Every structure is written in structure tokens, then in C-alpha cells.
Structure 1
Amino acid sequence: MAARRISLVLLLTALLAVPAAAAPGPVVAAPAGEVRGEAADGIRVFKGIPYAAPPVGAGRWKPPQPALPWQGVRDASAFGPACMQPKARAGSIYSWDLPAMSEDCLSLNIWAPEGAKDLPVFVWIHGGSLVSGSGGDPLYDGNALAKRGMVVVSINYRLGMFGWFAHPALSAESPDHQSGNYGLLDQIAALEWVKRNIGAFGGDAKNVTIAGESAGALSVIYLMAAPQARGLFAKAIAQSAYMISAPGLRERLNGMVPAEEQGVALAEKLGAADLAALRALSAEDIASKPPTVGYFPFPAVDGKIVPRQLVETFDRGEQAPVPILAGFNSGEIRSLRFLLPKPPADAVAYEREIRARYGEFAEAFLARYPAKRIDDSMLAATRDAMYGWTAERLVSDQAALDQPSYFYIFDHGYPAMEQWGLHGFHAAELPYVFGTAGKTPPLWPKIPDALAERKLSQAMGDYWASFARNAKPKAGGAPDWPDYADDRGFVHFADEPRSAHNLFPGTAALHEAVVCRRRAARDIPWNWNVGLASPPLPPKAEGCQ
């Protein structure tokens, strides 16, 4: 009897220890299938929804395939794995410890207000040099933006060699006789999924804004240029984009080795004699080894997905005719010093090198980037040639198509940022746009919990959401944002937003003139060869200064 009483007590104790069943999350019946997410504070969240299936293992390096259908209600309460990528660089302020990685990674995440109907859709494309990152990074939590009356979507896409590897054998087996650009095809597949399914989550498929930062912003530009993406979005936001030159698939363009030749060289370095050997490599080796042997992923000009160099597409006015919001940060290169060449011995050496490399443009270059402040000049020159020139070119080109165009510079600092010499560093605007100051990576300079920081974040989130809604960026209590066509109007985000006109007069024109000469020469790229790393200025050509 005593033993029986003890058993009953143990059973009762166990029953009491079992937690009450959690309330079921919201279920959405989308055309792709039923999914169950989570809900809190008026926002429904659905994570890890597959939008496509990447060919893996023996089927690697092909366009994305339709996602496998599922039976019943799919659990969408956890982010899907990040796409395969190298381990994070130790000491980087951008690094996260990713919880999981997989080749099967083509998923997206959705934040939607409860009761949403026909709301604007904001599709976020993460940065990371086309090598790293994830749509599930806490920095990109869409909760605060969704509360402004949007449906927010973040996506994963194939990275590194998985996403951008071209090779003659891959092209030979392709019906289009092409290879590479798989990451861009993934992004297009995600937008197609959004078009088919986002209405079930309360979004308006006809009012989609694509947005991204760094490599995500580069992706935005490529999507603007890709014929296959036409009609899948209505607006674009490009934060710290860089309109680089790209290799041709088989043709030598602007001094760059063709992408297929790069692929052959990479295969040799990896010890893979043929396509079967390449596909037999482990996912971990494909993610980690290419960067150690000098491989850097680029989109390839293939005449179809990437019809021509981006600058040529925009010069022809063949890009998507959509409103744009674009800008850059004042300290872009302060956290990217590896982009800088070796500094000279002194001011005399600096000026001598600039005069030798920039010829008749040397005086204009030195006026903006003087020898008396070499470090500041090198930082500013690379910033302006890559990010500033790109942002201003984007808004200028869209304005030429009579599209609303909004330009900004993010020039904000706070104590931890200033202590580390990172004022306005690359990506520093992200927690302000997303309202995620408390969700930055572990080594990110910590943002103080102060009223001024919250007000700046409130304004930036409002501007971005308003632009996504109706192409008119407005924020409560903040100044009106002038269109770029109004005397090169822009907003300066410092301690607070201020509207102004004509940022850095003549600077974008100087770098445009240099790029024009290099383009005309046809054998020089225009990526990171700035200042002391610049090749000698080519002679004047027709149509160039």
C-alpha cells in the first residue's frame, strides 16, 4: 500500500510538472501551403518558409527548383538554416555565431500586422559581400517596421561558390549554355514566391519594395537590371551599394578574367579534375576553401540575367523604372580598412603618386583629398569612389527616368562608435532603420539607450516605411525629404535628420569622369582601384571629360 501511495505521488508530481499546452500560433493558408507561425504584440511572424529548393550534392550549381510541397500545416516558428558560408572572421564587428548552416537554405521570413490587408511589402536582402549573412540575423528583425503598417520579408540566397560559381562544364549542361548567377536567380525566385503568396499574409503583391545594404544593395541594383525580375517589385532601396564592374561569362570585360576561366582556375586549386569531382566536394569545403585560394564571388555578365555592365544598363535607361531611395555612410571605410592601399611614407609621396595616377584630374582629387590629412583623405576617397558615387548615380539615373529619387548620407556617431574611431561606419544605419539597437552583433559598438538615439531610429524607420508605402518618405516631426531632382536634394542623418541640397559639390562628377575614362579604355575595372591604388588615368575619350 505504501508503495502504491508513493507511485501515485510521483505520478501526480510528474503531471503537475508538465507545462500547459502553448496556445496555437496563427495559421495562414497560402497557395504554397498552410503554415503556423507565432504572434506577439500585434505582429504575426512566420519563419523558415521554403520559397525554392536549391539543387544540392550531385545536383549543385543549377537554378533554384520549385520548393517541395508539404502536407498539413507546416511549423514556421523557427528560422531556417543560413546558407553555407565560411566561419565568421574573428574580431569582426559584423560577426554572428550562426546556429545552423545548410545547402538546403532557400527560405524566407515574414512579419505581418494582425488583420493585415493589402499592405505594402518590404523585401530585405542581406549583405555580406555575397559570401556571408542570413535573413534570420537578429539585426534584421522586422517587428518594428511591420508595426508601421508593412509586411516585412527577409530572404536567404546562395552565397560564395554555391551562388556565383561559373564553369564551362556547367554552362555546357545548361539549356541556356550559361552558369553562375545562381544567387541572383534565388532572389528572383523569392520575389516570384512573394508575388504568388504574400496576399495570404496581408501584403499587396503590386506594392513590393526591394531593399538591401552593401551586397544586398548591390543585389538590388542587379535586380533592377535583370529582365527576369521586371514587374516583381515597384520600388527600390539601396543602402551603401557599390556599382562594381563585373566579369563577362566568357568575354574579357574591363580587364577582368572571364567568370568561366576563374571557375576553371578555382577547380584546379580545389583539386577537382571534373564536374563530378567538384560536386563530390563536401559542402564545408566548398564554403571554406575558395576564400583561402583567392576566389571572390561576382555576378557575371551573361547577356541574359545580367545583360551588360550595370553602368551600361543604367546609361541606356534599361533598368526598372521605379522610385528609389539610396545613400551611403560618412565612415564607410572605417570598418573596411582592408579596402585601402598601403599608405605612403609622407605627404610628398602621397601627392606625387596622386599626380602620377590622376593626371589632369589630380588637382580636383587633391582639393578633395589633400595630402595634409592622408588617413582621412584615403578613407574619404575610397568611400566616395565606391559608395558615394554609386548612390548618387542611382538617384540621378532614376530621376532621369522621371522617377521619385531620394538621396541620403548617414553621418551619425555615439560614444562607443567614436571611441573606436568608427564614426558613421559601414552598416551603422541598420539598427536605426530596423529599430534593433538592442540586437546588434556581439562586437558591434553598443548603441546607448538614449532618447536621441530612439528619436533618430523612429525617424529613419518612418521614412523607410513611408517610402515603401507610397514613394514619399515622410517622418513625424522630421523635415520633408526633398527629391534629388530638386537641386540635388538629400537628407543628412547626423544627430537628427536635416534636409539639404548639393552634397559634396563636384565629387560625384569627378569619380564619374574617372570611371568614364576607364570604361572607354575597356581594359580597366573600377572596383577598388582608388587613390594610391589607381592605375594611370586613361586618355580622354569621346563622351568623357
Structure 2
Amino acid sequence: MKTVSDRASRPVVRTAAGAVRGTWEPCSPGAAEGSSAAVFRGIPYAAAPVGALRFAPPQPCEAWDGIRDASAFGPTPQRGDTGITLIPEHSIPGDDTLNVNVWTPAPEASAKLPVIVWIHGGGFISGSPASPWYDGRAFARDGVVLVTISYRLGFIGFGAVDGAPANRGVLDWVRALEWVQQNVAGFGGDPDRVTIAGQSAGGGAVLTLLGVPATEGLFAAGYAMSAAVAAPSLDAAAARTRHLARLGGVTPDLAGLGSLPEARIIELQRRITAPAAPRILRDVHGMLRDGLMIGPLPDGDVVPLDALQGTAHGPSAHVPLALSTADDELMGMFTPRPILDRAPRRAVLRALGASAAVADRWLETPEVQATASSVALVGRYATDAVFRSWVPRVARARGASAVAGTTWTSRYSWHAPDTEAGAPHFAGHCSDVPFVFDRLDAVGVERVAGTAPPQALADAVHGALVRFARDGDPGWEADRDGTGPARIFDVPVREQRDAYASAVALLEASHSRDASAHPSR
């Protein structure tokens, strides 16, 4: 690993398309001495997806002569004004939005270091690989090459368009992984030790990619945090396309939709994905029933299997997989409402779509019984239904599969102490991201972790992913049937069996079919 004093010249690496020149940056921000990482930003892995390529599969980028400057982030896929987001989402204009960023301690082919490819979250409609929360210097410090990737978002990346290939965002992930295989050795990475990792939509991407035939052999392990799974049916996706086309005054096909400016598509996209009803229970019920409205679509071709079947029986199901969620993913979405708090809890759950048996079973779990209000109950139910229930479902399905690899589960449970005024006092969505990147000093972290997040916890959370990428094992006992033991990332860190008891209580009798069913092809 280079030290700060060794950085007399900027690092240069030759890729298949041409040479790139990065920068040396200290692994610890502000450090005068110590280790440094070679950082390369904005390297294109495919041609700009504009014009005729907007709805096309990713195409090879043109080679360049000389040395391309890679000191600044490249353009990011646009998603319009999303307001203030938990993770800062830096937006950079430009056409060459399909690019990668690399952090490495040793940009030389002899290093053969483990590689993590990070897929950012944002509900498949937002997010940015240029976020300061995804700074990879801590991974380089610990002997890992980190690659962050961009991909087409929203309707442009995932909408069903007659005449265009489905799952264009998935095809972008595939092309980025192919780029890694072709080029990462020059950055010091070992192409045989690639771990795909991501949070929220990025976690959902990890689960999806285990079932994508085109990715077979492109990665060796998966690490999915707070996996957000989109489950639109083909009919529902086609209906949303027709709706968007009507709003835009065009035909619902490639010719019509291709005539709309990108900004107009992004504007209309919000209208076809916004909840139809203003009432809290209806909004949540729709989310629980339909999942994310835009995202990877089981199309029988690019994505032949749904996420659950892909993790258990897909072409890459054999790879080791680690799963995690935060304890209180959606607790911060709901504000106190006196009328709701006066409603019987069982009636609230029934309004959210829970069957009578599931409502009774879930209400009996200790974690739920400790919930103080009906508003908190809605947040906990949404957390379990949207995020946490996927952990035992996937662990069970993989445990029952003859081809699936080993599975580990964990929970992120820490939150700022109740004595810290203004800090969130729950382990909400995205709160674990600064810990896994060991970037507790990044801008905006106090919004999810308060002003004094514990470094020892960052060491544990970040260290688990480093060990997993390096050794194929995050450091605790595997989960073979959805009951654990799970690693609990809290202060202190510990293991716990049945750590997902409330989420398991939501699983209907159909979960046994999830675990044992083989895919229809």
C-alpha cells in the first residue's frame, strides 16, 4: 500500500478501452501521513445511453487515445428533484452516465486483491454513485478494491417498453460486471474474488443477479443489505407504461416513448408511481401489496426468475450470500395520528392487508407487543413486510435448495441514545450505510446516526463485509433455515437465534412452498 509521501505522481492504469489517470488520496481524511488509495472516477463501461441507445441494451464505449483523466466523478443518471434524501445523492449532468469508480490500495496486476462491486440504492428510481457515503477509501485501507457503478434509473431503466429489451437497468449491471472481469486486475483486483454488494434497491439488485443467466461466473459472492424487491407483474408494468404514454400524449411503444425528452419521462414517472390515496393505511396497504412499482421485472429472458427463486435455484445460487436489514427500516415514515392510535391494533393490521391468522400471530411476538403506539405498529409492520421478511424467506429457500450456497443473516440494531436531542432514536433505513463504508465523518451522517456514532460498531459492520469479500465468510455461524443465529450489530455486538421472529410470523403457509419449490423454466 502506498503512503502519502509516495504520491509524487498520479496513478495510471490501462483498461480495454484506454488508459486512465486517477489520484492518490489519503485513506483517512485529513491525514498528513499514512496509507493512501489510488482513486479512479468516471470511467465509462458502456456508451452513453442517449438518442437511439436510451432504451437499448448497453453498448461498448469507444476506445480513446492517450490517457483519460479519471479524477472526477462522471455524469450520473438523472432522476429529477427528489427533495432531501437520507443519503446525499450528488447529481452530475452529462451523457456518459454508465461509468464506474474504483478505489484501490495497489493499482498493479500482481496484487490480486478481493473486489467489492457496490450497487447503490434509491428504490430503482433515484440514488447516485457519486454520494460521499460511498467513498471507498476504508476498503482500500483494508486491502479491498471497491468498484461503484451507475445504471439507468426509473422508467428508462426498468419500464416495460414494447420494442425495447426489458430490464435495461439489469443489463447495465451485467455490463458493469463484465467490465470488472475484463479490467479489475489492472487495478489490483482478483476477478475470481468479486463480491456484489448493495443496500436497498442495491440489495434487491444482488438478489436479482443471482438468478440472471448472463451473470454466471461474473461474481463469487453476494452481500445484500435491506434488500428492496420490486415485484411488478408483466400486466401491471404494461398498464403503467400505457398510463405514462397517455399522460405524455404518445403511443405506448418504443417510437412513441422514445420521442419524449428524458426530463418529461422523469416528470411523468412520478405520476404513475405516486400513491393513489392520501390516507396512511391505504398508502401502506398499496406498498405492501404491490411492492416497488418500478424495478427488475421477471420477463422470462433477462430475468427469468423472481428474486426468491433466483436466490435458491438461479444460475448463481451456489455463491455464498449474506443478508441484513436495519431493525426499524420504515419507522420514520409515519407521524403520530390520534385517530389511528385509538383504532384496535388487529383492525389496523387487517386494514393493511394482513389475514386474521397472520395478524394474530404477529401481534403475539414480543417485539411487536413492546411497540408503544398504533403509528409505531404500522411502521413496524411495514418494516417487517417490505424488508425484514425477505431475510428468513431467502434463508429458508436457500436452505431447502440442493444447489444454493451458504447463507448468513444479520441485523443492524444500534441507534443514537435517547439522550441525544434531535437524533433519530431508531435504526432506520440507510442508517447502516456509513458504518459499512466506515465513513462516519461523511456529510449528513448525523441525520441517521446522531453526532457521536460509535467507531467500534463501524469497525464491526465494515469488517464483516471486508472479511466476507476476503474469505467468503463474514465471521459468524451460517443460517440454514431462517432461524439464525444472526449477528446483531449493536453495542455490544452479539449473536441471537430467532432474531427475525416477528418477520417470520408474517410468513403464511406458502413460505414452505417458497423453500422447496423449484423454478419453472
Q: Please tell me the TM-score bracket, short chain as reference.
A: 0.7 to 0.9
Provide the residue aligned with 2:71 in structure 1.
77
Give the Å deviation of 1:502.
2.1
Q: Which amino acid aligns with 1:430?
A: V
Matches within 5 A, 1:82-93: 82-90=76-84, 92-93=85-86
Give the Å deviation of 1:437.
1.2
Give the secondary-structure state (helix, strand or coil) at the position aligned to 1:320. Answer: coil
Provide the residue aligned with 1:425 in structure 2.
428
Matches within 5 A, 1:429-448: 429-441=432-444, 444-445=447-448, 447-448=450-451
Q: Deviations over 1:84-121 (max 9, x none)?
A: 1111314x4334452x2334300000001136511010
Alignment partner of 1:234 out of 205, 211, 220: 220
Q: Is 1:108 aligned to 2:90, yes or no?
A: no
Provide the residue aligned with 2:183 in structure 1.
197
TM-score of the two chains, using structure 1 as the length reference: 0.79
Q: Which amino acid aligns with 2:427?
A: G
Provide the residue aligned with 1:262 in structure 2.
240
Do the aligned residues in 2 keep the contact of 1:404 with 1:471 (CA within 8 Å)? Answer: no
Give the secondary-structure state (helix, strand or coil) at the position aligned to 1:287. Answer: helix
Q: Distance between the aligned counterparts of 1:440 and 1:393, measured in 2?
A: 35
Q: Is 1:378 aligned to 2:378, yes or no?
A: yes
Give the Å deviation of 1:372.
6.6
Alignment partner of 2:505 out of 490, 499, 510: 510
Give the Å deviation of 1:317.
6.0
Provide the residue aligned with 2:478 in structure 1.
483
Provide the residue aligned with 2:37 in structure 1.
43
Q: Distance between the aligned counterparts of 2:121 and 2:195, measured in 1?
A: 17
Q: Is 1:166 aligned to 2:164, yes or no?
A: no
Provide the residue aligned with 1:140 in structure 2.
134
Q: Distance between the aligned counterparts of 1:445 and 1:27, measured in 2?
A: 37
Give the secondary-structure state (helix, strand or coil) at the position aligned to 2:40. Answer: strand
Q: Deviations over 1:114-142 (max 9, x none)?
A: 36511010000000011111112110000
Do the aligned residues in 1 keep the contact of 2:415 with 2:424 (CA within 8 Å)? Answer: no
Q: Distance between the aligned counterparts of 2:304 and 2:155, measured in 1?
A: 21
Alignment partner of 1:350 out of 324, 345, 350: 345
Q: How many residues are paired up?
A: 469
Give the Å deviation of 1:386.
1.9
Question: Percentage identity across aligned positions?
Answer: 32
Give the Å deviation of 1:443.
7.4
Provide the residue aligned with 1:221 in structure 2.
207
Q: Distance between the aligned counterparts of 1:160 and 1:222, measured in 2?
A: 16
Q: Is 1:271 aligned to 2:249, yes or no?
A: yes
Against the structure 1 CA distance between its residues 319 and 194, is the aligned structure 2 distance closer, same or farther, given a 3 Å change threshold? closer
Q: Is 1:494 aligned to 2:490, yes or no?
A: yes
Give the Å deviation of 1:205.
0.4
Query: Which structure would you say has the larger Rg?
Result: 1
Against the structure 1 CA distance between its residues 504 and 223, is the aligned structure 2 distance closer, same or farther, given a 3 Å change threshold? closer
Q: Is 1:34 aligned to 2:27, yes or no?
A: no
Q: Which amino acid aligns with 1:292?
A: R
Q: Distance between the aligned counterparts of 2:264 and 2:270, measured in 1?
A: 10
Q: Which amino acid aligns with 1:280?
A: S
Q: Which amino acid aligns with 1:216?
A: G
Q: Distance between the aligned counterparts of 1:399 and 1:55, measured in 2?
A: 40
Give the Å deviation of 1:501.
2.0
Q: Distance between the aligned counterparts of 2:43 and 2:355, measured in 1?
A: 51
Do the aligned residues in 2 keep the contact of 1:95 with 1:442 (CA within 8 Å)? Answer: no
Give the Å deviation of 1:58.
3.8
Q: Which amino acid aligns with 2:86?
A: I
Do the aligned residues in 1 keep the contact of 2:118 with 2:196 (CA within 8 Å)? Answer: yes
Matches within 5 A, 1:243-322: 243-248=229-234, 252=235, 257=236, 259-273=237-251, 275-294=254-273, 296-314=293-311, 316=313, 319-322=316-319
Provide the residue aligned with 2:395 in structure 1.
395
Give the Å deviation of 1:461.
1.4
Give the secondary-structure state (helix, strand or coil) at the position aligned to 1:101. Answer: coil
Q: Distance between the aligned counterparts of 1:372 and 1:517, measured in 2?
A: 32
Q: Distance between the aligned counterparts of 1:378 and 1:133, measured in 2?
A: 26
Against the structure 1 CA distance between its residues 161 and 54, is the aligned structure 2 distance closer, same or farther, given a 3 Å change threshold? farther
Give the secondary-structure state (helix, strand or coil) at the position aligned to 2:379. Answer: helix
Against the structure 1 CA distance between its residues 97 and 236, is the aligned structure 2 distance closer, same or farther, given a 3 Å change threshold? closer
Provide the residue aligned with 1:327 in structure 2.
324
Q: Distance between the aligned counterparts of 1:203 and 1:214, measured in 2?
A: 26
Do the aligned residues in 1 keep the contact of 2:77 with 2:150 (CA within 8 Å)? Answer: yes
TM-score of the two chains, using structure 2 as the length reference: 0.83
Provide the residue aligned with 2:46 in structure 1.
52
Q: Which amino acid aligns with 1:200?
A: G
Against the structure 1 CA distance between its residues 317 and 45, is the aligned structure 2 distance closer, same or farther, given a 3 Å change threshold? closer
Structure 2: stretches of 5+ with no match in the other structure: 1-6, 27-35, 275-292, 515-521
Provide the residue aligned with 2:290 in structure 1.
none
Q: Deviations over 1:62-94 (max 9, x none)?
A: 10000111111111111101111111314x433
Give the Å deviation of 1:151.
0.6
Do the aligned residues in 1 keep the contact of 2:152 with 2:169 (CA within 8 Å)? Answer: yes
Provide the residue aligned with 1:466 in structure 2.
467
Do the aligned residues in 1 keep the contact of 2:232 with 2:294 (CA within 8 Å)? Answer: no
Q: Which amino acid aligns with 1:363?
A: D
Give the Å deviation of 1:504.
3.9
Q: Distance between the aligned counterparts of 1:483 and 1:502, measured in 2?
A: 13
Q: Distance between the aligned counterparts of 1:347 and 1:86, measured in 2?
A: 39
Q: Distance between the aligned counterparts of 1:244 and 1:88, measured in 2?
A: 19
Give the Å deviation of 1:489.
1.1
Give the secondary-structure state (helix, strand or coil) at the position aligned to 1:225. Answer: coil
Give the Å deviation of 1:347.
4.8
Q: Distance between the aligned counterparts of 1:223 and 1:418, measured in 2?
A: 41
Give the Å deviation of 1:442.
7.7
Provide the residue aligned with 1:150 in structure 2.
144
Q: Is 1:365 aligned to 2:351, yes or no?
A: no
Do the aligned residues in 2 keep the contact of 1:111 with 1:143 (CA within 8 Å)? Answer: yes
Do the aligned residues in 2 keep the contact of 1:329 with 1:425 (CA within 8 Å)? Answer: yes
Against the structure 1 CA distance between its residues 350 and 52, is the aligned structure 2 distance closer, same or farther, given a 3 Å change threshold? same
Q: Which amino acid aligns with 2:58?
A: P
Q: Distance between the aligned counterparts of 1:267 and 1:353, measured in 2?
A: 36
Do the aligned residues in 2 keep the contact of 1:35 with 1:76 (CA within 8 Å)? Answer: yes
Do the aligned residues in 1 keep the contact of 2:331 with 2:383 (CA within 8 Å)? Answer: no
Give the secondary-structure state (helix, strand or coil) at the position aligned to 1:444. Answer: helix
Matches within 5 A, 1:170-181: 170-171=163-164, 179-181=165-167
Give the Å deviation of 1:517.
10
Against the structure 1 CA distance between its residues 46 and 97, is the aligned structure 2 distance closer, same or farther, given a 3 Å change threshold? closer
Do the aligned residues in 2 keep the contact of 1:166 with 1:260 (CA within 8 Å)? Answer: yes
Do the aligned residues in 2 keep the contact of 1:331 with 1:422 (CA within 8 Å)? Answer: no
Give the secondary-structure state (helix, strand or coil) at the position aligned to 1:455. Answer: helix
Provide the residue aligned with 1:94 in structure 2.
87
Q: Distance between the aligned counterparts of 2:338 and 2:60, measured in 1?
A: 50
